[in-house]
Amino acid sequence: MVTFDAREPGTPARTWLRDPRLAALPELGLPGRGVVVLAAHPDDETLGAGNLVAELALRGRAPTVVVVTDGAAAPGADGTRDPGLASRRAAELREAVAELAPGADLVTLRFPDGGLREDRDAVRTWLERLVRDRDVAGTPVTTLVAPWSGDGHRDHRVLGEIAGEVARRHGLTLWEYPIWMWHWADPTTAEVPWETLRTFAGGPEAAARRSRALDAHASQVAGPDALVPHDLRRITGRGVDTFVVTEPPVEVRDEDGARDRDDARDGADVTAAFFDATYERRDDPWGFTSRWYEERKRALTLAALPRRRFARAWEVGCSIGVLTAELAERCENLLAVDVAPAAVTSARERLGERDGLSVEVADVTADVPAGPFDLVVLSEVLYYFSLPTLRRFLERLAPALADRAVVVGCHWRHPVTGYALGGDEAQRELRTALAASRGAVVTGRYEDEDVVLEVLSLDGRSVADRDGLL
């Protein structure tokens, strides 16, 4: 059980900001409509999810904001309770939400601060009724945003657990935000869920709205005796919100047609809408042009190619065309495709007109272009396919390969909530399918903690053998 004192200094923000894992966290796209943001106390909605609330409002998708307690148990500087605090915090909350999302639906339940464990059943019943009977701006509830159940504060834990129960029951996406974790933990603390943390960054206006909203919670953040420590305000106010995301179970049918509930790893393709929303928010959402991980991975991919030149190549999931530009230097003809029109537009602008290069919008789960290709590059793409979709794709890919084709697969190895498969699993499917259908063998492999890269060859010869050295 985590215990902490909010009046203690806690972990300096610089300790978190110096850890490279924080800047490298995967980024979330903007969720669709039907978002409900739950806060245990007034100010949690701003500290934990202020960028998200503001950006949703700016995109015409204002969420419903539900604050569960009155916040009256927060102690003053001398450790005593202020009898007028509840009314003051209620007024601050109204001002803050008006800054974040003018006109948003604000619901205050006013359960006693510090008592959600005792009121668990009543809160769960209320939330069940909201999800079942109420919509958000004409759209059914699709996403719950709540405090992280591992946050250490009892009210945060209980509300996070309730949100998780309701999300699972109704098939909703759950975004959990940590707040006090930044205070009691540090980057080395075992409880920090590094593998499942994700970030959401709104635009500059969303960040400005969040800043003004936090200032509105003056009883908690103003003055030398502010309850919310300066370092906690700094780390949560760094321009992004941080979440642990749990996708809903996906309804699938067994061979007899019976319905079953299973997780996204067995049933759900990541849809084109996900990519559309992702590119709508950021031009380079995966940091292809800025992250050393991506630059290094491109260098590994290009170095692993067993030939200097290829006649006809196909790159699946080209995104904004950063790897495409380097592949084009090694290929007489290159077809690069992506499912997201915005990505293809960016790639075309980056690459310009080049002989032998074509960049197209295409959904490869529906169709594979006619071959033969002597190089196919599948970088960070196969884990978006459900297992049945991946196997169908690989069945269609096999006959499109030239007799001595090379297929390169390269994937992130850490689990990502919401992706249909893991990187290792996707690579295993690729390797097994092409070995069975075309006799492909692994002629090159690189693996570290983050990435796995394999070169599958229908030829089977090594580079030295191809060069006549053997």
Counting every residue written for the chain, the total comes to 470
- 223 and 314 in a single domain? The answer is no
| C-alpha to C-alpha distance for 274 and 361, rounded to whole angstroms | 15
Shared-domain flag, residues 243 and 330: no
Q: What is the pLDDT of residues 274-319, one digit of tens each?
A: 787 778 777 888 889 989 999 999 999 999 999 999 999 999 999 9
Q: How far apart are CA 241 and CA 254, in angstroms?
A: 39
Residue 261 exposure: Cα atoms within 13 Å on the Cβ side: 7
Chosen domain end from 248, 274, 306: 248
Omega of the bond leading into 372 within 30 degrees of 0 (cis): yes
Paired with 395 in beta bridges are: none
Question: Does 186 fall in a domain?
Answer: yes
Q: Looking at the structure, do residues 191 and 307 belong to the same domain, yes or no? A: no
Output the pTM of the full model: 0.55
The pLDDT mean for the chain works out to 87
- pLDDT at position 386 is 86
Pair 233, 309 in one domain:
no
Check pLDDT > 60 for residue 254: no
Report pLDDT digits (tens) over 61-113.
899 999 999 877 766 545 556 668 888 999 999 999 999 999 889 999 989 88
Residues 121 and 205 both lie in one domain: yes
pLDDT of 60 above 80: yes
Q: Are residues 94 and 238 in the same domain?
A: yes
409 within a domain of the structure (yes/no): yes
Kindly tell me if the per-residue pLDDT of 272 is higher than 80: no
Maximum distance among all Cα pairs of the chain, rounded to whole angstroms:
87
One domain, residues 209 and 343: no
Q: How many domains are contained in the chain?
A: 2
Dump pLDDT digits (tens) for 309-336.
999 999 999 999 999 999 999 999 999 9
Is 304 found in the same domain as 230?
Answer: no
Three-class SS state of 105: strand
Q: Which domain holds residue 444?
A: 292-466
Summarize pLDDT for 414-426 with one digit per residue, the tens. 777 667 788 888 9
Q: Are residues 223 and 332 in the same domain?
A: no
Q: What is the dihedral of CA 11, 12, 13, 19, to 10 degrees?
A: -80
pLDDT, tens only, 359-369: 999 999 888 99
Q: 230 and 316 in one domain?
A: no
CATH of the domain at 67: 3.40.50.10320
Task: For residues 236 and 298, state if they share a domain.
Answer: no
Domain contains 2: no
- SS3 (DSSP) at 172: coil
- Comparing 226 with 193, which gets the higher pLDDT? 193
Structure confidence at residue 248 (pLDDT): 64
CATH number at residue 324: 3.40.50.150
342 plus 441 within the same structural domain: yes
